[in-house]
A and B are shown apart, each in its own frame.
Chain A
Amino acid sequence: MKEIIKCENLCKTFFTEDGEEEVLRNINLSVKENEFLVILGPGQCGKTILLNIIAGLETATSGRVLLEGEEVKGPSPERGMVFQRIALMPWKTVIDNIELGPRLRGVPKKTRRKEALELINMVGLNGFEKAYPHELSGGMKQRVGIARAYASNPKILLMDEPFGHLDAQTRYYMEEEILRIWEQDKRTVIFVTNNIEEAVYLGDRVLIMSKLPGTIKDEHQIPMERPRDYTDQAFLEYRQEISEQTELAL
């Protein structure tokens, strides 16, 4: 399959008054078309920074990111981002938030409205088009975040612990939902999480990151059929295996 994104020797060091802090060291990865890649790592391992570099929101100290062979220079709608803190515009209704990207790019009103309504339907928010973000629960807000990223018709979706702030029950449910949405409209996904079960439940492949400075310690294919079952024997074996490696990575 076609390779969509590639990171070559990415390094990131922050230079502060107290000295240097190396956050990422020699990250090499590549993601194939329509692959669901999960990056699993403990808190503070630079995985958000890595995602921000791929998004173009931050620059690497050295190394480069290639999208279909072209070097990434800055943020672009072809790399859609779903944020942990969701980052909806609080002054915009659900539908206006979803339409924001297309509107900024000058898509005509009729077209973008039609697409936004389709996306609202896809993420299961029918009836909430005119609601403001503060009127929604955490899970519903993140549905808007996912629809907003899809609205730019991106080549790749970058998800930064998108369910990190949700309660456990909503989180399980949103994991099912993200797969349902993804299977309905497949994209290349890089999904960052610190939750092993979430990684095994979602990923085609899981990369395990170490603590600072973040490096990729190991890689796991998860060839299980979807939907996966948390209590399935194979699931538990993958979980066990990865969890042992995660401990080593710490």
Chain B
Amino acid sequence: MALNKVDINVQPKEEGYVPKSKKKTFSYIQVLPVVSFALALGIWWVIAELELIRLPTPAEVIMQLYVMATGTVAGQPLHFHVYMSLQRVLIAFVIALAVGIPLGTMMGWNRRIEKIFNPIFEIFRPIPPIAWVPLAILWMGIGEAPKIFIVWVGCFVPMVVNSFTGMRYADKLLMDASRTLGATRSQQFFNVALPAALPSIFAGVQNGLSLGWMCVLAAEMIAAREGAGFLILQGMYVRNEAMIVSGMLIIGLLGFLIAIFLRYMEKVITPWRKEELV
């Protein structure tokens, strides 16, 4: 009586559902970003042309970028400066991954570890990365180490916070389910809590990398001779506003690209995430 009706449970998607790729509506919503972008550019241009403040025009910035790309700043071409900044952030990011995620997950998993580390971390957490600059110089001099350290501070904090909350608030029901299946405590950690926390941990990784990238200027305030942040400072010393804005744009643009890359990675690493956060 039942066997011939198996399909009844394959419920259709809710009414009015149209797969996104097939949607063919065009509305003014889609041109809004273009309009706002053009408007911002226009206002920038007007302010620069009227010389209300010391601000280069967009054309001057593009010229500056072209000059730096074909020539050199402080003896190095533009791509080298960008590369150096990326390298610093990447090294700091990897160290932060290796330290922050184990610390955060263990704090979320084990009350004792939480009680030991969390009070220290709660005080460490609100200290802005830039506040570490003087100590970093005193401890590590003016080489690469203090710069990587400053970026590391920026990366580290959100990774710990998100790993911690992800583990702590992992659905207890899933833990119960695994216990009725015979999971040991360590199996619960690796097979349930960790994957359940993965979306949150990954959000921490995203925030960490973005924040680390934002700290690159602070890091390169430490006697750097190269880097995107250095371009901004160098622009200030030689009173070249176009160079300052170029450096800012490079940081903004690369940060934007990093965010896009991470959003893509999120879909690869946590493919189940789509609707399932109930």
Binding site for B on A (CB under 8 A): 52, 55-57, 74-77, 79-81, 83, 85, 87-92, 100-101, 104-105, 124, 132-134, 137, 139-140, 143, 148-149, 152, 169-170, 173-174, 176-177, 180, 227
Contacts and interface: CB of A to CB of B under 8 A. Distances in A.
A85 B181 contact: no
A91 B272 contact: yes
Interface string B158-190: 000000000000010110111111111001000
20 contacts: A52-B176, A57-B176, A57-B180, A74-B179, A75-B176, A81-B176, A87-B171, A87-B174, A89-B196, A90-B273, A90-B276, A91-B195, A91-B196, A91-B198, A92-B272, A149-B180, A152-B181, A170-B9, A173-B9, A177-B2
A124 B272 CA distance: 23
B276 A87 contact: no
A77 B177 contact: no
Contacts of A80: 180
B9 A139 contact: yes
B1 A176 contact: yes
Nearest to A143: B9
Nearest to B195: A91
Contacts, number: 98
A124 B6 contact: yes
Given A76-B182, A91-B270, A176-B2, A104 B9 contact: no
Contacts of B273: 90
Contact of A180 (B3, B183, B275): B3
B180 A79 contact: yes
A201 to B, nearest CB: 13
B56 to A, nearest CB: 50
B276 A75 contact: no
Contacts of A100: 178, 181, 191
B10 interface: yes
B75 interface: no
Contacts of A170: 8-9, 11
Contact of B274 (A79, A134, A143): A134
Contacts of B9: 137, 139-140, 143, 170, 173-174
Contacts of B23: none
Given A57-B180, A77-B180, A77-B182, A104 B272 contact: no
Interface in B178-218: 178-184, 187, 191-192, 195-196, 198
A152 B179 CA distance: 12
Contact of A132 (B6, B196, B276): B276
B3 A77 contact: no
B183 A134 contact: no
B176 A133 contact: no
Given A133-B276, A134-B274, A137-B10, A173 B5 contact: yes
